[in-house]
Amino acid sequence: MSVGRIGLYIFLAGAALFFAIPLLIVVMTSLKPMDEIRAGSIFAWPMAPGFAAWVKAWSSACTGLACNGIQVGFWNSFQILIPSVVLSVSAGAINGYALAQWKPPGANMLLTALMLGAFIPYQVILYPMVKIMSNVGLYNSLPGIVAIHIIFGLPVMTLIFRNFYAGLPDELLKAARVDGAGFWRIFWEIMLPISVNILVVAVILQVTGIWNDYLLGLIFAGREYAPMTVQLNLIVNSQMGEQEHNVNMAATLLTALPPLLVYVASGRYFVRGITAGAVKG
């Protein structure tokens, strides 16, 4: 083994520890009772590991005045996530397909506009968006936050799918048109089945992006539909009484769990989708 190799492994191990140690501390702390936390070091192994803090975080921790745990936020995030992901990915796929394959007049201009949309920091348009949403009566509502996620997700989703569909041979669409199939039939029966890998990538991007979102949820969802991240912040930052570190840690882990599961379940597709340049016939 060369010196360079050894150096590389040391670097990689260091990088892994850098991410693993805080995670380990969070997990250990969430399994300890408060007495043990007060008494010992944060690096100490839990003496009597238990899930009491997890149960409390899930069902009875206080988020401001209400004390129903983070589960409220979980269900809110879930209700926001499902329609936002389904609709933004579908719309992105259809847009990308239409732009790349049917090449409507003005497609290139639209594409440039989308690129701009994808790269504008969204803080810039938050205020106008708030005005627009309250004017159409969607501010502080579930449809409101869903609409926001779709709008903010659309440019990137469209670009991902457009690039994928632009890489397919033109003759595929021509053959299907000679066969008499129309816009939707070609989409459903020919284009979508080839797009599984890229669909998985898009879904993962949207699931993690929307689940981890804090700012948009805070601004547009309103109190009733505050997502899990916002509720987590309320638990962690509640100023009443003693800070329950174990509950905070458990709530944090609960919040982080869904995207983690999605990665684990679909990592294989993710890599495949990212490397899927051409579809071989």
Residues of the shown chain interacting with other proteins in the complex, contacts defined by CB under 8 A: 169, 171-172, 174-181, 185, 189-190, 193-194, 279-281
Q: Are 69 and 128 in contact (CB under 8 A)?
A: no
Nearest approach, Cβ of 198 to other proteins (angstroms)?
14
Task: List Cβ neighbours of 1 (8 Å cut-off, separation of 6 or more).
Answer: none
CB 181, min distance to other proteins, A: 5
Instruction: Select 48 or 178, whichever has its Cβ closest to other proteins.
Output: 178
Structure tokens at 20: 């693993």
Q: Could you tell me the sign of the dihedral formed by the alpha carbons of 41, 42, 47, 48, in that order? A: positive
Q: Which is nearer to other proteins, 98 or 133 (CB)?
A: 98
- The structure tokens listed for 209 are 């992006």
Contacts of 163 (CB under 8 A, 6+ apart): 96, 100
Least spacing, CB of residue 58 vs other proteins, in Å: 42
Give the Cβ contact number of residue 188 at 10 Å: 11
The CA distance from 7 to 23, in Å, is: 25
Contact (Cβ atoms closer than 8 angstroms) between residue 90 and residue 184: no
CB of 190 to other proteins, least distance (A): 5
* Residue with smaller CB distance to other proteins, 115 or 192: 192
Nearer residue to other proteins within complex by CB, 143 or 167: 167
64 vs 169, beta carbon nearer other proteins: 169
**Between 72 and 279, CB nearer to other proteins:** 279
Rounded to a whole number of angstroms, the minimum distance from the CB of residue 200 to other proteins is: 15
Question: 118: left (phi > 0), else alpha (psi -120 to 50), else beta?
Answer: alpha
CB of 176 to other proteins, least distance (A): 7
* Nearer residue to other proteins within complex by CB, 14 or 182: 182
Instruction: Give dist(CA 199, CA 252) in Å, integer.
Output: 29
The dihedral formed by the CA atoms of 70, 73, 79 and 81, expressed in degrees to the nearest 10: -100
Residues in the chain: 281
Minimum CB separation from other proteins for residue 76, in Å?
A: 38
| Distance separating alpha carbons of residues 91 and 132, to the nearest angstrom | 21
